[in-house]
Structure formats: structure tokens, C-alpha cells
Amino acid sequence: MRLLIVGQLAGHISTAGRIATQRGAKVAHIDTVAGALNALRNGQGADLVMCDIVLDIAELIGSLKSERINVPVVACGIGTDAGAAVRAIRAGAKEYVPLPPDAELIAAVLQAVAEEDSTFIARDRVMQPIMQLAERVANSDASILVTGESGTGKEVMARFVHRKSRRANANFVSVNCAAIPDNLLESELFGHEKGAFTGAVARRIGKFEEANGGTLLLDEISEMDLRLQAKLLRAIQEREIDRVGGTQPIKVDIRLIATSNRDMEEEVKAKRFREDLYFRLNVVNVHMPSLRERPSDIVPLAEHFAAKYAAANGLANKPLSAGALGMLQSHHWRGNVRELENTMHRAVLLARGADIDQDAIILSSQGFAPEGVSANSISARAASATSNGSTTPANLVGRTVADVERDLIIDTLNHCLGNRTHAANILGISIRTLRNKLKQYSESGVPVPPATGDERAVS
């Protein structure tokens, strides 16, 4: 965890930094917003920015968005000024932390941002040779290709390899190749000079330079455009990159890990992926099995996620009942560990008794209602509502699936105070599906709860 603290914070800066350091964070301090932006442009990466409320947080967040520097911002201020907290959240801050800093609060913020992405639970015997292979190759500089279905934990494996490597104290930098448009990915990877294209307001260091000395993860590399694959191949072979608009090559020293959920040899045969790049990346292949192939990990993973989301939501950590465990162990898990994580997040929020019972476990079914909402989710939530007396089968009869789906989505969004990401997790649908639904509802005149925080810009 790399923490960048911005501002003076009236003398509390050293205390906040010391607490964060004790919790395992690498802490840097810069006095001004302009200085922080320059540091981030120039390759001083951060996983979290904590900014003094007296500074222009709106300018900081606006500049980060316009320059596509993806880092969450937390506001800090003296005392418990409710107005300052509201202004910070409206500007796009993830949280507001009152000062003097409380050790447990700082720890909670760091944990929420990190999301325990370094935790690797692998107790099933099918995982043992995979973990042994990862440990054997971790200390080398060999490129690693991690393959497997979506949701199997490929990025978690990449972080595990980095932690076990001799580069563990250097940066781990991740780029999602599928999430960035082709015309922007080149700049994201290799950086750019000021004026290289419209919107290039300052020199920006790319991910290769940011990861210098450490590890660079290219997530879902099979989504990369063929033209950019050629430039990537040169960067790997020569260990040097060219910034967009630059005139001089720049030497880099990185360990490269790539992931893909596709059959890479089929991608090569279909001419969608360069064969020479594939061989450069696939020095070592670590294949992540599906959750269906590692059934002994289902219970420990479920318990881990239950504890994680109970803590994140300020709830008591509840045990799983025998019935709930039976449901989890018999499910097919098409979405693998990610599906299990979302299932447990919902279960923690829906559990009403002393434990997490069957009625809180909403599993995805093989069939789906129109446009991506799980039919099982609709029926389960309807049944839950019936048991609470708010909805009965009689007043569901005669209504269309679309009407029930709409009410479920709007009610869930109200429950989440407008937070689209949280609502999508509970519903078991993608954030894109949720936003498309909300756009349809809004255009048809249905009132939609406003987005909260920095989600307003993308909802």
C-alpha cells in the first residue's frame, strides 16, 4: 500500500503518517495539490491519497480524472466539521477522516482501499503444485503468464508472486488492458510528453516507468490491439520504451506478469495475438483452476469474505449455518471466486439471525431474466420481502418481470444510498448493466436515486 499525504494537516501529518507506516503502508508527503499532481505524473505512484480539507480537493480530483490518473482520494480535516465532510464527498472524495487521526480509523481506510488483495487462500490439494510453482519462479525475473477463467484470482496470484520476489519492496503496478480504450492504452503504458495529443497538459510517466525496479501486471492482455502488441514486444525485448511524443528511448527494469481468461494458443492461431509476443510472455505459465476444481477452498473462502464484509460494513461477523454451507458447496460457481465473494457480500448484508443462513444466500441461476438481472435473485429477494410482510405472492401475480426487476433495482439502490457499485454487488449484476438499466428508467420518467461521491461523473 502506497500512501501519499497532501497538505500540512496542522501538525497531525507526522501522526497520520506514523500510524499508516505501522499498518504496513509506504508513506510520502507533499505540501500542495500542484506538487502532488506533478509527483503522480512523474511516476511516484500511490494507491491512496489523503488530502487536507483546506486544499482544493475538487481541483485535485478533477485533474486526476481529466489526466486519467486512477487513485482514490480521502479528505482529512481538523475536528468533525460536517459541512467540510459533505463538501469533500461532493467533490469526489471516497471518505472524510477527522483529525487528530484515530489509529483504527486510519487502519480501516487503508484496509478498505487495499481490499485485502494480497490474501491468498489455497487449501485444496489441486492448488498445492500451483503454489509451489509460483514460489519457485517468484525470485527470478522470468515473465509469467497467468491464465484461467474470469474470477479465478489471476491478479491475486500476480501479487503473490511479487510479494515472494526480490522486487517485493518495489512497486507493483497493474494495468487493466480491457478497461482502457485502445487509443489511450499506449499513453497509459508508455507515458507521453506535454502536447503529444489533445488533453496532454503535462508530461506523464507511464506504467512501465512507474513500475521501474518492480513488477508490472498487464491484466487481460489478450484484449490488447495488435498494433500496440508490436510496441509492447519491443519494450520487452529491448527493456526500453518510448513515450508518446518523445524523442529519446528510456531504459526500464521491470518484472512482467500478464493475465488472460482466453485460450492464448487459439488467439495466436486466429491471428488475434502475436505469436512472438506470446512466447515472450509465456516463459512460465501459471494456470488458475476454476473454483469448481478446488471445492475444499469454498468454505474457507466464504468465511474469509464473510469476515471481510462484516468488518467493512460495521456488522458482527456471523458464522455460516450448515444449510448455507451446503448451498455454497453444491453450487456450480460459473463466476468462480469473484462470484463467491459477491455472494458473501450480499449474504452479510441480508443475514437477519445469529448466523448466515440459507435465506441470505442468493445464488446465480443458469438462466437469466432479460438484460442481465438474475431470475434467481429476483425470486429470492421477493421471497425475502414476503417473509418480512412487505410483499406477498398475490400482489406479485399479474406484474411483469420487468416491473419486479425495476422495483428491485430501485429499492436496492435506495438501500445503498445511491451507491451504484454497492448496489450492483448486492444484485449480482455488472455495474454496466446497472447503469444501462438506470438510464432506461430515467428516460422513461422513473425517478432514479442520485449517485453518490465520484460515481456521479460516470452514472
Contact 160, 215 (CB under 8 A): no
For residue 380, pLDDT over 60 is answered with: no
The one-letter amino acid at 367 = G
Tens digit of each residue's pLDDT (9 = 90 or more) over 223-268: 999 999 999 999 999 999 999 988 899 999 999 999 999 999 999 9
pLDDT band at 304 (very low <50, low <70, confident <90, very high): very high
Tens digit of each residue's pLDDT (9 = 90 or more) over 109-118: 666 655 545 5
pLDDT at 10: 61
Of 68-82, 121-135, 156-170, 242-256, the poorest mean pLDDT is in: 68-82
pLDDT at 26: 80
Q: Average pLDDT for residues 75-88, to the nearest whole number?
A: 74
What average pLDDT does the structure give for the chain? 83
Do the strands 255-260 and 250-251 form a parallel or antiparallel pair, or are they unpaired? unpaired
pLDDT at 110: 67
Buried b vs exposed e over 388-400: b needs ≥16 C-beta within 10 Å?
eeebeeeeeeeee
- Whole-prediction pTM: 0.66
Q: How far, in Å, CA of 230 to CA of 132, rounded?
A: 33
DSSP per residue over 249-301, as a string?
A: -EE---EEEEEESS-HHHHHHTTSS-HHHHHHHTTEEEEPPPGGG-GGGHHHH
Of 82-91, 194-203, 321-330, the poorest mean pLDDT is in: 82-91
pLDDT at 112: 61
Tens digit of each residue's pLDDT (9 = 90 or more) over 34-81: 999 988 888 777 888 988 888 888 899 988 888 878 788 888 877 656
pLDDT at 9: 66
Of 207-221, 340-354, 396-410, the poorest mean pLDDT is in: 396-410
pLDDT at 378: 41
Q: How far, in Å, CA of 164 to CA of 328, rounded?
A: 31
Comparing 141 with 7, which gets the higher pLDDT? Answer: 141
Q: How far, in Å, CA of 65 to CA of 70, rounded?
A: 7
pLDDT at 381: 45
Comparing 71 with 312, which gets the higher pLDDT? Answer: 71
- Go through the domains of the chain in sequence order and give each one's CATH number: 2-114 (3.40.50.2300), 125-289 (3.40.50.300), 292-457 (1.10.8.60)
pLDDT at 101: 67
Q: Which residue has the cell 444449510?
A: 323
pLDDT at 458: 44
